[in-house]
A and B are shown apart, each in its own frame.
Chain A
Amino acid sequence: MAEIDKNFMTTYQKVATHDGEDEPIQIWAKDSDSYGGVGTDKLGIWGSVVAVDFDICVADGACIDACPVDVFEWIDTPEHPASDKKAIMTREPDCIVCKACEEVCPVTAVLITDPADIGTGTESAETVTEEVSAEAPSETVVEAPIAMTSDNTALFFHKPNKWLNRAKDVLNKEELPSTGIEKAKDMFKGIRKQTLDSLPRGKDYLALVDNEKCIGCTQCVYFCNFASIDMISWDLMARTSQFESKKALILEDTCTGCTLCVFACPVEAITMEAKT
C-alpha cells in the first residue's frame, strides 16, 4: 500500500499554500502538474511539520481523534477518489510532536517531522525553518529536553546489530507466507482508538503516577517525547509491595497531556488528571 514519501521535503516542490488558523499551510507535490487544487483528484502532501498525503488519506478520522491538541479539522475535497473529505492541519503550529496521529493512521498517510530537524542541508527547506522558528519562543521550554532525547537516540544507535541486519537481508530476498501481522496491526489500531476515546487529554490535563502501582520499569520514560518523566529513587522509605526503589515522576512544566505514557505503562499506574 502506498504511504507518505518520507523525503518529500527534498524530492517534492512547494506548489501552493492554504489558509490555516494562524499560519499558512504549505502544499507539496512532485511537480506543478501533479497538483490540481481542491476539487480535483490531485492534492499532494499538505503541511510541513504535520504532513498528510491527501492522495492517500481515507478520512477515517483517526488522527483527529488521536491528537491531544486539536491540530486537525475536516476539509471537503469533492471529486477525490480516496475520500471526499480530508484531515487538514489548521493549527499546525500547535503540534507537540507526540506522533500519536502518525501511529493511528491506518494508511500511513501522516508524517510528523520535529521542527528542529527541518532544514538540515537543503535549500528548499530553509524557508520552512524560518516559518517555524517564528513561533519558537513559546516552545523554548519544550525544545531543550527534545535535544536531550535525540542525544540518547544517537547513543542508542551507536552500534547497529549487523547480525540481525544480515538475517533481515536474507529474509527480504524471498517471499515467505505471511503470518498474521496485518491482522495484528488492525487489531492494535482498533484497541488503541478505544483506549484513546476513554482518556481525557490535552493541555488542560496532566499525567499522574500512582506510586503504589508503579513498578519502575521505565517504559513511560522511553515513550515520552518531551523528556518530562524522570525516575526518582525514593530509597527504602517508599518501597511498596512492588519491591521497587525507583518510581516515575512526571514533570508538570513540560507535560503536554498527550496520554502516550498511559499507553506505555504496563500496570496502569498512570492516569490523566485535570490541571488545577
Chain B
Amino acid sequence: MSRTKPYSRTIPHPLFERLIVEDAMKEEKDSWKPERPHEYGYFPGCVDFMDVEVKFTHLNKGDADHASIAAASIKLLNYANIDPLVLDMNIFKCSGHDQLWQGQLEVFDALKEHNLRRLKESGIKIMTCSCAECYRTFAVDYDLPNTLGIKVEHVTQTLQGRGLKFKAPEDVTVAYHDPCRLGRMMGEFEAPRDLIQLVDGAKMVELENNKERALCCGVSSMMYCNDATKAVRRKRLDQGTDAGIDIMLGGCPKCYMHMQCMLNEERMNPEEGHHHDYEMMDLMQFLVACLEEGN
C-alpha cells in the first residue's frame, strides 16, 4: 500500500488506520450463523485492535489495557444474568465511526454493509456496546432501531436497574467524565452515575463541568492531537485534581486512551511541572475491580 496517501488534517495512526481500511475493503460473501440464538449481542468494537496497536507502538508504554474493557463488559453482563452473543472482530468489522467522521465515506459504507448483513444473520434483539462511539454509530448512523428493529444500548444502560451489587476493596473517590457521544449526543447522563452509586465504598463527586456542560477529552475520532487539544485535556484533568479524586472514570475507550496518554506523558516529563496524581479508567474496568469474591 502506498505511503503517499494524502491524509489532510486527520491523525489516524498509519498502522491502525490502514488495518481498518484493509479489513473494510476485503469482501466477505460467506454466510454465518451463531451456534445458538441470543437475545443480546455485545459489540466490543476495536478495543482489541487498539490494544495490539498500543503494544506494538509502545504507546502508553503498554500501560493501557483496552482488551480488558471488552472482557470486563462480558463479565459484568454475565453477572447480570445476560448471556450475550459476542459480535467480535472475527465476524464483524469496525463500526466505522472514525472513518465516517474523518470523511472516508467509502470505507464507512463498506463497513456498514458488512455489519448490517452480519446483524441480520445474528438474529439478536438488543445490541449493547461498551464504546460510546459505537453506540452512537449503531443507533444514529446505522439507524438500527428503524432498519432492523434492533434496540441499541450502551452497556451502562443494559446493566442499569438490574439489582447489581458492588463493593470497593478500599474507600475511593471517583468522578465520572461524560464522553461526548454518550452524554451530549445521545443524552445519557444518569445510567453510568447510577452504576457508580451502586458501589459500596466509592464516593462519587462531580467535576466542575459535568453532564451537558462537560469538557471534552480533546480528541474526537482519532483526529488531530496537538497543543490546543492537549490544553483542553489538561483543563479537564485539572478539574479532577481540584475535586480531589483518586480515579476518573470514562464510558468510552477513546477517552480512556487519550486521558491516560496525557497522564503518562506528564509523568515522563516531570520537568514541565504538570502532574495529576490519579488514574483514568474505564467504568467497566472499575466495576470489575469492585466485584465481590465468588461472583
> Which residues of A approach B to under 8 Å, CB–CB?
103, 152-153, 155-159, 161, 163-164, 166-168, 170-171, 174, 176-181, 183-185, 187-188, 191-192, 194-195, 198, 215-219, 222-223, 242-246, 263-268
Query: Chain A nearest CB: distance from B76 CB in Å?
Result: 10
Complex contact A266–B226 (CB within 8 A): no
> With A179-B67, A222-B61 given, is the CB distance from A187 to B22 under 8 Å?
yes
Q: Which of B13, B57, B88, B289 contacts A166 (CB 8 A)?
A: B289
**A265 (CB) vs chain B CBs: closest residue:** B14
Beta-carbon nearest neighbor of B10 in chain A: A267
Q: Which residues of B contact A161 (CB under 8 A)?
A: 63, 279, 281
B14 cross-chain contacts in A, Cβ below 8 A: 195, 263, 265-266, 268
Query: Which B residues, 222 to 269, have Cβ-Cβ distances below 8 Å to chain A?
Result: 224-228, 247, 264-265, 267-268
Shortest beta-carbon distance from B94 to chain A in Å: 11
The minimal Cβ–Cβ distance linking B219 to chain A, given in whole angstroms, is 10
User: B61 near A163 (CB under 8 angstroms)?
Assistant: no
B88: chain A residues within 8 A (beta carbon): 177-180
Within 8 A of A (CB), among B18-75: 18-19, 22-23, 44, 47-49, 51-53, 56-59, 61, 63, 65, 67-68, 70-72, 74-75
Contact B57 A263 (CB under 8 A): yes
5 contacts between A and B (CB under 8 A): A163-B172, A163-B279, A180-B89, A184-B52, A188-B53
Does any Cβ of A come within 8 Å of B286's Cβ? yes
Are the CB atoms of A179 and B86 closer together than 8 Å? yes
Contact of A171 with B288 in the complex, beta carbons under 8 Å:
yes
Say yes or no: is B12 at the interface (Cβ < 8 Å to chain A). yes
Q: Which residue of A lies closest to B291 (CB)?
A: A170
- Cβ 8 A contact of B7, one of A177, A179, A218, A268: A268
Interface check B285, CB cutoff 8 A: yes
The size of the chain B interface, using a CB distance under 8 A, is 57
**B228 to chain A: closest residue by CB:** A243
**CB within 8 Å of A: which of B192-235?**
224-228
Complex: how many Å from CA A266 to CA B48? 19
**A242 CB, nearest partner CB in chain B, Å:** 6
Residues of A within 8 A of B281 (CB): 161, 163-164, 167
Which DSSP category, helix, strand, loop or mixed, fits chain B's interface? helix
Instruction: Please indicate the chain A residues that have their CB under 8 angstroms from the CB of B48 in the complex.
Output: 179-181, 184
Contact of A266 among B13, B52, B90, B228 (CB under 8 A): B13
* CB-based contact A181/B19 at 8 Å: no
B169 at the interface (CB under 8 A from A): yes
Residues on the B chain within 8 Å of A188, using CB: 15, 19, 52-53, 56
**A192:B226 contact, CB within 8 angstroms:** no
Please, which residues of chain A bring their CB within 8 A of the CB of B285?
163-164, 167
- Cβ distance B229 to chain A, nearest Cβ, rounded Å: 9
Q: Would you call A156 and B226 a contact (CB within 8 A)? A: no
A-chain residues with CB within 8 Å of residue B12 when the two chains form the complex: 266
Given contact pairs A179-B74, A191-B1, A263-B14, enumerate 13 new A-B contacts (beta carbons under 8 Å): A156-B264, A159-B267, A167-B289, A168-B68, A179-B44, A180-B49, A180-B90, A183-B89, A188-B15, A216-B226, A243-B226, A244-B227, A264-B57
Query: Is A103 in contact with B279, judged by CB distance below 8 angstroms?
Result: no
Query: Which of B47, B57, B74, B225 is within 8 Å of A223, CB to CB?
Result: B57
A258 to chain B, nearest CB (A): 13
B265:A218 contact, CB within 8 angstroms:
yes
Name the residue of chain B whose CB is nearest to the CB of A165.
Answer: B289
Question: Shortest CB–CB separation between residue A5 and chain B, in angstroms?
Answer: 20
Say yes or no: is B270 at the interface (Cβ < 8 Å to chain A): yes
User: CB-CB < 8 A to A178: which residues of B?
Assistant: 88
- Given A185-B52, A216-B227, CB of A163 within 8 Å of CB of B264: no
Contact indicator A156/B268 (Cβ below 8 Å): yes
**Is B224 a contact partner of A215 (Cβ separation < 8 A)?**
yes
Instruction: Determine if B52 and A181 form an interchain contact, defined as CB atoms under 8 angstroms apart.
Output: yes
Residues 79-96 of B at the A interface (beta carbon under 8 Å): 86, 88-90
B126 interfacial by beta-carbon distance below 8 Å: no
- Shortest distance from the beta carbon of B134 to any chain A beta carbon, whole Å: 13
Residues of chain B within 8 A of A167, CB atoms compared: 68, 72, 281, 285-286, 288-289
- B18 contact set on A, CB distance < 8 A: 191
Interface string of B161-181 (1 = CB under 8 A from A): 000000001001000000000
Contacts of A158 in B (CB 8 A): 267
CA distance A167 to B249 in the complex (A): 14
Q: How far is the CB of A149 from chain B (nearest CB, A)?
A: 10
User: CB < 8 Å: which of B58, B227, B288 contacts A222?
Assistant: B58
